[in-house]
Amino acid sequence: MPTVALFVPCYVDQFYPQVAEATLRLLERHGCTVVFPEAQTCCGQPMSNSGEAAAAAPLCRHFLDTFQGHEYVVAPSGSCVGMVRHQFPDLVPDHPALEQVRTSTFELCEFLHDVLGVRRVEGRFPRTVGLHRSCHAQRELRLASGSERMVAPFDKVKALLSSLEGITLVEPARSDECCGFGGTFAVAEEAVSCLMGRDRLDEHARAGAEVITGVDMSCLMHLEGLARREGRPVRILHAAEVLLGEAA
C-alpha cells in the first residue's frame, strides 16, 4: 500500500480546504495511506516566477526538508509540482534530498494514472463538464499531448474524468488555451488577464459546460472570480472534487 505525503498548495490550504480534503479522500479510496506533514508552507513558485530566486530558495529548502524521505508526495496542482520538478534544480541544486523528492512528487491525476495505474474511477458525476487544461500541467508535466505538438494524442486527466458514471465531457474551442492567471501576471497585466479568462469562460459556456474543472485551483480561482463577479451560472470545481463523485 503506497504511502503518500499530501502536499497542499498554500492557497488551497487557506481558501480551498475542500479541494485538499477531496484529494485526501480520493487517495485513500485508491488504497493509499496519506499523511499531511504539517510543517509545509509554500513551494516558492510565486517568488521564483517573479524572478525572486533568493526569496524562493529558502522556501524550496524548507519544502525539501519537510517532504524528504516520503515514498510519494502528491499535490492537487500541476504548477506547484512543475515548480518542484523543474525549477528546484536551479534554485537549490545542492540540497541532499533534491533528487529523491523531485522524482517522487506527482500531480494528483498524474499519480492516479501513472503510478497507481488507475483507468476507471468509481463514482457518479451526472453533469456536463468542461475541462480547463492548465498550462503547467499540460506543457511542463505533459499530462496531455497538447494541441501544438504533432504526437499521438493522450490526455490523462480527461481519461480519469471520462470514466466516471454519468459524466458528459464537453470540449471548448481552443482546447488548451491559457486562462490568463499566470501568477503575478493576473495583477500586473490585469486587463489582458481578465480578457483571457472571460474568453475561456465564454468558450466553455458555448460548449455547454455546467461545471468547469481542472487540476490547478489557481487558474480556477481566477475563472471563478470572474464568473462570480458577472453572476455567471457555471460551477467551478477542482478535478479532485469531481473525481470524488456526487452522492447518487
Partner 1 sequence: MAHAPAASHPEAAARFAADVPRTHWHDESLWFMRVKRDRAAAQVPEWERLRELAQAIKAHALATLPALLEQFERNATAAGATVHWARDAAEHNRIVHGLLAERGATRLVKSKSMLTEECGLNPYLEARGIEVVDTDLGERIVQFRDEPPSHIVLPAIHLKKEEIGALFHEKLGTAAGASDPKYLTEAARGHLRQKFLAAQAGLTGVNFAVADTGAVVVCTNEGNADMGTSLPPLHLACMGLEKIVPHAEDLGVFLRLLARSATGQPVTTYSTHFLGPRPGSELHIVIVDNGRSALLGRDPYRRALSCIRCGACMNTCPVFRRSGGHSYGVTVPGPIGSVLAPTIDPAAHAALPFASTLCGSCADVCPVRIDLHHQLLAWRGELAAAGHTPAGKRLALRFTAWVFASPARYALAGRLARFALRVLPAGIMARLAGPWGRQRELPAAPAESFRDRYRRTHGRA
Instruction: Give yes or no for residue 20 binding partner 1 (CB under 8 A).
Output: yes
Q: Would you call 60 helix, strand, or coil by DSSP?
A: helix
CB of 125 to partner 1, least distance (A): 22
User: Segment 116-145, which members bind partner 1 (CB under 8 A)?
Assistant: 135-136, 138-140
Q: Residue 182 pairs with which residues in a beta bridge?
A: none
User: Segment 88-107, which members bind partner 1 (CB under 8 A)?
Assistant: none
Question: Contact, 1 vs 33, CB < 8 A?
Answer: yes
What's the one-letter identity of residue 26?
A: L
Task: Report the residue from 1, 93, 191, 248 that binds partner 1 according to the rule CB under 8 A.
Answer: 191
Instruction: Give yes or no for residue 149 binding partner 1 (CB under 8 A).
Output: yes
CB of 58 to partner 1, least distance (A): 5
The number of residues that bind partner 1 (CB under 8 A) is: 76
Using the minimum distance from each CB to partner 1, give the nearer residue, 165 or 177. Answer: 177
Question: Contact, 180 vs 222, CB < 8 A?
Answer: yes
Quote the radius of gyration of the chain (alpha carbons, Å): 17
- Binding piece for partner 1, criterion CB under 8 A, among 106-114, 119-127, 162-170, 225-233: 225-233
Task: Report the residue from 28, 31, 36, 124 that binds partner 1 according to the rule CB under 8 A.
Answer: 36
Alpha helix stretches (DSSP H) within 34-143 = 45-49, 53-67, 78-82, 88-91, 98-104, 108-110, 135
User: Segment 160-189, which members bind partner 1 (CB under 8 A)?
Assistant: 174, 176-178, 180-189
Whole-number Å distance between alpha carbons of 11 and 97:
25
* The residue to which cell 524521505 is assigned: 69
Task: Report the residue from 115, 116, 170, 194 that binds partner 1 according to the rule CB under 8 A.
Answer: 194
Closest to 221 measured CA to CA, from 123, 108, 138, 132: 132
CB of 183 to partner 1, least distance (A): 8
- Binding piece for partner 1, criterion CB under 8 A, among 97-105, 112-120, 124-132, 146-154: 146-154
Whole-number Å distance between alpha carbons of 88 and 77:
16
Whole-number Å distance between alpha carbons of 217 and 233:
18
Using the minimum distance from each CB to partner 1, give the nearer residue, 174 or 206. Answer: 174
Q: Would you call 214 helix, strand, or coil by DSSP?
A: strand
User: Segment 40-79, which members bind partner 1 (CB under 8 A)?
Assistant: 40-42, 44, 46-56, 58-59, 62
Using the minimum distance from each CB to partner 1, give the nearer residue, 27 or 118. Answer: 27
